[in-house]
Structure 1
Amino acid sequence: MTDNVDATKAANNEFVITRELDAPRELVFKAWTEPEHLQRWWGPKGLTITVVKLDLRPGGLFHYIMRTPEGDETWGRFAYREITAPERLVYVNSFSDPEGGIVRPPFDDPWPLEILNTVTLEEQDGKTTVTISAIPVNASEEETRVFRAGFESMEQGYGGTFDQLAEHLAAL
């Protein structure tokens, strides 16, 4: 099970990654949209995710907190733009504060405040191909450059997250 990153999109500042999962699309969609599933697989390996709020509708918010084993906390949010069950989710992902407001990330590089993500789910023979495309929203040239420079790190991060999703789906 390998991830496929579309290098041709890099010139357009778009990060694209694809993973095939051994599960039907309906189940994968539930894993992306229900709190009891999201907190079991979303985010970097080794972190605990707590869903604070999940309002699954255009204009709604998925607000969550990630905790390290040492107790450090980072907040995040998805602001949903489009939900087409069970095939597509479009949301703007950002770091956030505990109230859900958008904040700068907890690292020094000038990362974009908002990233537009499109998740598509395509099923064939009982397996689902997940494709995520991400592009900065209203980003400065420097933020866009840092985003583009982060593709390798994003590939590794999403790889671990996809591994957790695959393990979660296999356990259902």
Structure 2
Amino acid sequence: MFPKIEITRSFNAPRELVFKAFTESEHLQNWWGPKGWAFDISKFELRQEGVFHYSQTSPDGNVMWVKFVYHVNAPDKLVYPSFFSDEMGNIVRAPFNDNWPLETLNTFTFTEHVGKTILTVIGHLYPQPRRKRFRRAFQEPSFNWLTTSLLFHMTKKQPQTSLYIENSGVVKFRFI
């Protein structure tokens, strides 16, 4: 079994809104996944044992399917095992690495503190060469896009680049 990683991120938004950004398809469409990739939802059931099944298509046309099975305690916690899958939802090996785990368990905890939301993510850590890549994935684009999406939702104005950077929050990593 691989070790785990803990990631903490602060957002200048109420907890209910940040939780919705992770649990409503119209919000996910605005920020989920790698920059430049198309994101298409096949199935989205936010409930206990509900399934989130989606595909991501790279700019060069490669398609990856992913499936989650939700365990929800709104708006405090979201837990889901995730798997690479085929179009039908059957578990398959990651298309980029045969050693990637077939299943990872992800726990997202949402805590409100003085009008901000502290998001703590605990997930399985991948083999050593992937650690830096895993941290970069959470540190850079997706959570920054989420911040922009939250600001837009709260203000109904598209933030300027400087506002986008200033409000991106601080990411802290701890290997456990």
Q: Same fold (TM over 0.5)?
A: yes
Q: Which runs of 5+ in 1 are unaligned?
A: 1-11, 137-145
Give 4+ residue runs of structure 1 displaced > 6 Å after superposition. Answer: none
Q: Deviations over 1:100-148 (max 9, x none)?
A: 1111011135010100000001111211111110127xxxxxxxxx534
1:169 aligns with 2:150: yes
Q: Is the 8 A contact 1:121 1:131 kept in 2?
A: yes
The one of 27, 31, 52 equivalent to 1:37 is 27
For 2:94 and 2:6, locate their aligned partners in 1 and report how far apart those are by CA, in whole Å.
21
TM-score by length of 2: 0.80
TM-score by length of 1: 0.82
The structure whose RCO (Cα within 8 Å, separation 6+) is larger is 2
For 2:115 and 2:85, locate their aligned partners in 1 and report how far apart those are by CA, in whole Å.
36
Q: Deviations over 1:67-121 (max 9, x none)?
A: 12232211111111x2111010010011111111111011135010100000001
Correspondence list, 1:119-134, <5 A: 119-134=108-123
* Alignment match, 1:78: 68
Q: Which runs of 5+ in 2 are unaligned?
A: 154-176
Percent identity between the two aligned chains: 44
Correspondence list, 1:84-95, <5 A: 84-95=73-84
1:105 aligns with 2:94: yes
Q: Is the 8 A contact 1:96 1:102 kept in 2?
A: yes
* Alignment match, 1:65: 55
For 1:32 and 1:39, locate their aligned partners in 2 and report how far apart those are by CA, in whole Å.
10
The one of 42, 47, 52 equivalent to 2:37 is 47
Cα RMSD (Å) of the superposition? 1.5
For 1:30 and 1:168, locate their aligned partners in 2 and report how far apart those are by CA, in whole Å.
11
Q: Which amino acid aligns with 1:113?
A: L
Query: What secondary structure does 1:150 align onto?
Result: helix
Q: Which amino acid aligns with 1:126?
A: G
* Alignment match, 1:150: 130
Q: Which amino acid aligns with 1:164?
A: W
* Alignment match, 2:168: none
For 2:3 and 2:144, locate their aligned partners in 1 and report how far apart those are by CA, in whole Å.
25
For 1:125 and 1:105, locate their aligned partners in 2 and report how far apart those are by CA, in whole Å.
40
Q: For residue 64 of structure 1, report the CA deviation from its aligned partner.
A: 0.7
Between the two proteins, the alignment pairs up a number of residues equal to 151
